[in-house]
Amino acid sequence: MYRIYTRNQGMALRLYRKLLLVMRLTTVILIASLMQVSASTFGQRITMDKKKASLEAVLKEIRKQSGYDFYYDGNVLSSAPALSITLKNASLPDALRVAFEGLDIDYTIKGNIVSIKKKDTGFLDKVLGAFANIDVRGTVVDAEGNTLSGATVKIKGTNRVAVTDNNGEFNFRNVDENAVLEISYLGYRSREIKVAKNMARISLELSSGELSEVFVISTGYQTLPKDRSTGSFAHVDAGKMAQKSIGMNVVDRLEGLVPGLAVNYGQGNDKLVLRGVSSVNLSRQPLIVLDGVPVAEYRNIESLVNPADVKDITVLKDATAASIWGAQAANGVIVITTKSGEYNSTKINIAYDGFVSFKGMPDYSSLNLMSSQEYIATAKQLFQNSNYLTAYPFNTVNTFNGGNYPRIYPHERIFYDLKSGLTTEALANQRWDSLANLSNREQIDKNFYQQAMLSSHSVTLSGGGRLNKFFGSLAYSRYDNADKSTRDRYNFNLREEWKLAKWLTLDLTGNLSYEKNRVLSNLSHPTPFITELDQYVPYALFADGNGSPLSQSYLYMTPAYRSTAEQRSKISLDYVPLNELNYNRNDNSVLAARVNGGLKVNLYKGLSFTTRGQYQKTVDDGYNFYDQNAYRVRLEVVQFTPIPAAGAEPVSLLPTTGGHYATNKLNVTARTIRNQLDYNLQTGDHQITALAGQEVKSTLFDVTRTMTRGYDFQTQTYITYNQKDLENPGIPATGATGAILPIGTASRNTLRSMPITRAEDELRFVSFYGNLAYAYKNRYNFNGSLRYDQSNLFGKSKSSQNKPIWSVGLSWNMEREDFFKSELISKLMLRGTYGIAGNSPGVGKGGVADILYASNSTNYSGLGTGYVIISPANNRLVWEETRSLNLGVDFELLDQRISGTVDYYSKRTPNLLGERPLDPTTGWSSAYGNLGEIRNKGIEISINSRNISQNDFSWTTNFNISQNKNKVVSLKRPVALTVDAKTNGGFIEGYSAYSLFAYKYAGLNADGNPMVYKQDGSTGMFTNQLALADTYYQGSTQPLWYGGITNTFRYKDFTLSGLIVYNLGNVMRSDVNRFYSGRLLANIQSNFNERWQNPGDEANTNVPKYVPLETTSISQRTTSFYNRSDLNIISASYVRLRDLTLSYDLFKSGLSKLHLQKARIYAQVNNVLLWTKNDRGIDPEYYNLSQGTRLKVNPAFYTLGLNLSF
């Protein structure tokens, strides 16, 4: 039985011991008495083996085996730490001695009763102890000197425990000078060290299970140790990211390292997708948070953050993790924490980080375009078509027709010369052969491209004294792109913190970035879809054998037509592409600045108040200047010059000197003010971390565009002209009538550009939030958060402005239970969360009032500017709501040789935002509002294994795989879905996001035209013959499975690591021929030659025939039936060896002589190997998956890097 008492009413302990000494004289009598006692004797032996058990549980087991009763004060045992104890046939005194070792606990055994109490301290001992006690402070760091936030520091033998703060610091007051500290941190070897007044930096080494997730969760608002969290997080430290030199955007370096995060490089998909797509029309990118405050835009990360300055990145994936960020976090949150200095540093730490990447040139062979020989042979085949000359007679192509200037390409000129009798067939073939023997590929490489190279250099300084610490860095990077554009960037970063008083801390961070970009001129081309040099006809040379530039004026108009225009305007219209490079300047500069400051006041034990403010400014200022010699300037002047009278000089309505000067300036100003109370309490078995705060923020986007003609770049002056009559959108301008060169089919030429346009958007938020984390016995954890966001983007109703965002979560550290005993499992944590996150509507989409657009229109009868309501007020408009459930388990096996996490999630967004249909009687056919629902579910698995660990050699593996399935449950469209729109894919009700639909191909008919099957088994040749059900779901362009595998091998001072990334289970359209009619005026795909050409070919090919005249082609068939058929849906799955890195730690033994702490050199190769499931040579990363078009493939590239620490 147990008897609880609060105070021992007996004699003093020392007197009691003297009495026992006297009683030894009567030992025989006592022994005789004790022999009368029942089985509760010292003779009863005790055996037990307990791990991390409470003292009370140990005593219960001793009582059970010994039969003794125990008297004790409950407060004595509750404050005792958990202990591990192993006894085998031990006596009762021995068992108690082992159980109480190192504790301030005393006990006595009287009869069959054990009395337990706290040790008494004599008066003299107390006086001497008070003078001997000291205050202890220090900083816990890892082997690299990085601070460890959340480490546990305990005074051995007591219940006094501290947890290191964000700076890795701890402190105790009034500590025995002979006391010993026990320092522990998950995944590191625990350490004991004697106390001292200033313990400076205490370094911990990784334990044998170094693969465990060793980190403290940072949500941007607070930090929590991983074993006290309930949410789903991923953590990537600086070491893992430093080995990737794929680019200067630190977020891109997360590829393959974070379960659930897909990084897409191909076109047609979002770049970053975390746990699937949760929105149709709003942002689908995760929120980016830098040092606790969101950045205004995703692209600002590259400008503001040098990868060498990043300490770690935490990815918040579920509602409990991300809901604290409110109506911006439905897509998850990426929290970036930069490095800081160290208090009490003995010296200034200097580090250099630099690398050079040789990225090579794009591979054009991947585009599958025709060579000159193939191109000319194909052209000759088309000319032999009996309908070609009927469709394109010489008189038609040689005159201004349908708004197009007459133009005849060299290979066409030969054909028309042959048909008109100006040349013989033999001479025509010779001329065609001469074109076939020309190739512009080498000249394109020489004049328009270069070997790409990226270089980066960064120097950091850090340190600190007793009352301050600092971290500063200077960085420079240069990117010479393959297209000859360049980018120079300079970064400056300074982070300081001062202890103004014991209760007051000030921190200040400043980032400044300047970027200069120079872009190569975009060559003009009259054919709208010609946007790349590789689409030019392959025989068209840009320079002769001596390197002199060649004219390609035939691209725009025939010599005769051009000559007439030149004679009338007295302006040359010769087009020489290489010269055009010298007539254009396209420059852009980006200045980005951020200031973040915080003041922390320690109000009371565990209670603090922090006020923080951030100001962020980005100025993106670019211009594009074409001087008066540029073809586009000369052409426009001629287009606005009336045909002069005979003998008269031409008079242009536009300036004839000076060029086109266009500017584009974007100003982004973001302000954030936050006030927050934090409370931390640890008492006995209870640990509470709570916060409550208020936040105000605004972001202003200001865009200004100007267009000036007649601009002199040297003097920065311009010539005025009659803008009102020539360019006044909405109100008919007088324009230029009777111009030398007409524009389109209109009777007068008018300018389309405005001299100046300006747009301003602002979003504002006022938020109130709170979070509570509670832990009991370090086993059971609860977390809850609540946030209210009010914004000018929402409706003004109370339900819209006061809708809460919330989450709750529970976790259980099962391995800490008394009943849990396993040699196999050393950690087992179960987690579960549920909550709501939000996604705000875009600026200008709807809100508390009608949104107006200023417009000039003939409807106003010359009254001037009018206003058009583009979106009516929606008082009930609110953020998209994403409800998220997450169930997870964290585990460690075989003494941490294997560790990992498994998560299951289910997300539901029931109120998607976008344009939805309305009853026309309201006056609106559609308006911005809630239009549907989308759901996501999936699993994520991350496993870390220590395969081999020996003195000189180790091999570790990090593996993660994620699955995501989503479905658009409902979607109200402002315009009814058509067959053609459905096969365009995207978001279709009842199917996954980014779905691909296809026709069921029925092959070609006897005339070489494509057919598709309908549901009833019949065939159709036109879309108006089909129903929506006649298109079939093929899959999604988003991968079903994705992830990464990292293997790291270490041998002495060498380290070899490789990252494999993979996307599996998605589909794409194959790149098939798209040229089925018209004139051959650009390069086309080689598989055009597989087309149907003669009756009977339908048995051997599926490629439709060529029909010269486009209108005839449209009337006969629907060519997209082939392009968008199930025949051309292929797998987009791939596995790529993303990078392979070999590093070497230089001459460790001699570093001190060179005043070096660390020296590391490394070499890396990227995009090493690729496996694809498709058999058509398509690299899905350089491809538009939904449209089926190839992009130029970047080859493997090589990097050399150096890291130095002084």
pLDDT tens-digit map of 1001-1056: 999 999 999 999 999 999 999 999 999 999 999 999 999 999 999 999 999 889 99
Of 249-253, 417-421, 426-430, least confident by mean pLDDT is 249-253
Of 303, 299, 321, the residue nearest 220 (C-alpha): 321
The answer to whether the CB of 1047 falls within 8 A of the CB of 957 is yes
Backbone angles phi and psi of 212, in degrees to 5: -65, 155
pLDDT for 69 equals 75
pLDDT of residue 7: 35
Chain centroid to Cα 995, Å, comes to 22
CB 891 within 8 A of CB 811: no
CA 507 to chain centre: 28
Of 1069 and 95, the structure prediction assigns the larger pLDDT to 1069
CATH class for the region spanning 124-203: mainly beta
Q: Poorest-confidence range of 165-169, 275-279, 953-957, 1144-1148?
A: 165-169
28 pLDDT above the threshold of 70:
no
Query: pTM of the prediction?
Result: 0.79
Residue 228: per-residue pLDDT: 79
Q: Is residue 449's pLDDT more than 80?
A: yes
> What is the Cα 194 distance to its own chain's centre?
45
Sign of CA dihedral 1020, 1024, 1027, 1033: positive
pLDDT over 90 percentage in the chain: 46
Q: Residue 799: helix, strand or coil by DSSP?
A: helix
How far apart CA 276 and CA 267 sit, in angstroms, is 17
455 CB-near residues (< 8 Å, 6+ apart) = 354, 355, 356, 357, 477, 478
pLDDT score of 175 more than 90: no
Q: What is the pLDDT of residue 753?
A: 77
What pLDDT, on a 0 to 100 scale, did the predictor assign at position 677?
95
Q: Report the pLDDT averaged over residues 963-979.
A: 90
Which among 886, 304, 879, 333 is positioned nearest to 618, based on CA atoms?
A: 304
**Two tokens, residue 674:** 């936050």
If residue 587 lies in a helix (H) or strand (E), which one and from where to where? strand 584-604
Q: Which pLDDT score is estimated for 10? A: 39
User: Phi first, then psi: what are they for 376, rounded to 5°?
Assistant: -65, -40
Q: What is the pLDDT of residue 860?
A: 57
Give the pLDDT score at 210.
43
- Whether the predicted pLDDT of 373 surpasses 90: yes
Higher pLDDT, 629 or 864: 629
CATH 3.55.50.30 applies to domain 2-119: yes
List of residues 6+ apart from 727 with CB closer than 8 A: 733, 750, 751, 752, 753, 754, 755
Q: Is the pLDDT of residue 886 over 80?
A: yes
The model's confidence at residue 268, banded by pLDDT at 50, 70 and 90, is: low
Average pLDDT over residues 961-977: 91
Instruction: Dump pLDDT digits (tens) for 799-831.
Output: 666 778 899 999 999 988 888 888 889 889 999
Residues in the chain: 1206
Enumerate the domain spans of the chain.
2-119, 124-203
pLDDT at 79: 65
How confident is residue 20, by pLDDT bands cut at 50, 70 and 90? very low
Q: What order of strands is seen across the sheet that includes strand 169-175?
A: 169-175, 134-141, 198-203
pLDDT surpasses 60 at 987: yes
Q: Percent of the chain having pLDDT more than 70?
A: 88
The answer to whether 814 touches 892, Cβ cutoff 8 Å, is no
Please indicate whether residue 642 or residue 930 has the higher confidence score (pLDDT).
642
Q: What is the pLDDT of residue 670?
A: 92
3-class secondary structure per residue, 603-625: EECCEEEEEEEEEEEEEEEEEEE
Structural contact between residues 1161 and 1146, judged by C-beta atoms closer than 8 angstroms: yes
Tell me the C-alpha distance between 983 and 248, whole Å: 37
- Stretch among 46-60, 761-775, 888-902 having the lowest mean pLDDT: 46-60
For the chain, give the mean pLDDT.
84
Give the C-alpha separation, 998 to 461, whole Å.
58
| CB of 1051 closer than 8 Å to CB of 948 | no
**Which two tokens mark 340?**
């800081």
Which pLDDT belongs to residue 711? 95
Distance CA 90, CA 111 (A): 19
In 723-779, DSSP assigns E strands to 736-737, 748-749, 756-776
Lowest mean pLDDT among 142-151, 204-213, 722-731, 1018-1027: 204-213
| Res 142 pLDDT > 80 | no
Would you state the pLDDT for residue 42? 47
Are residues 827 and 891 in contact, defined by beta-carbon separation less than 8 angstroms?
yes
Which residue intervals of 703-842 are DSSP H helices? 723-726, 798-801
In 180-309, DSSP assigns E strands to 180-184, 191-194, 198-203, 216-218, 223-225, 233-237, 261-263, 272-274, 287-290, 293-294
Closest CA to 810 of 109, 197, 80, 230: 230
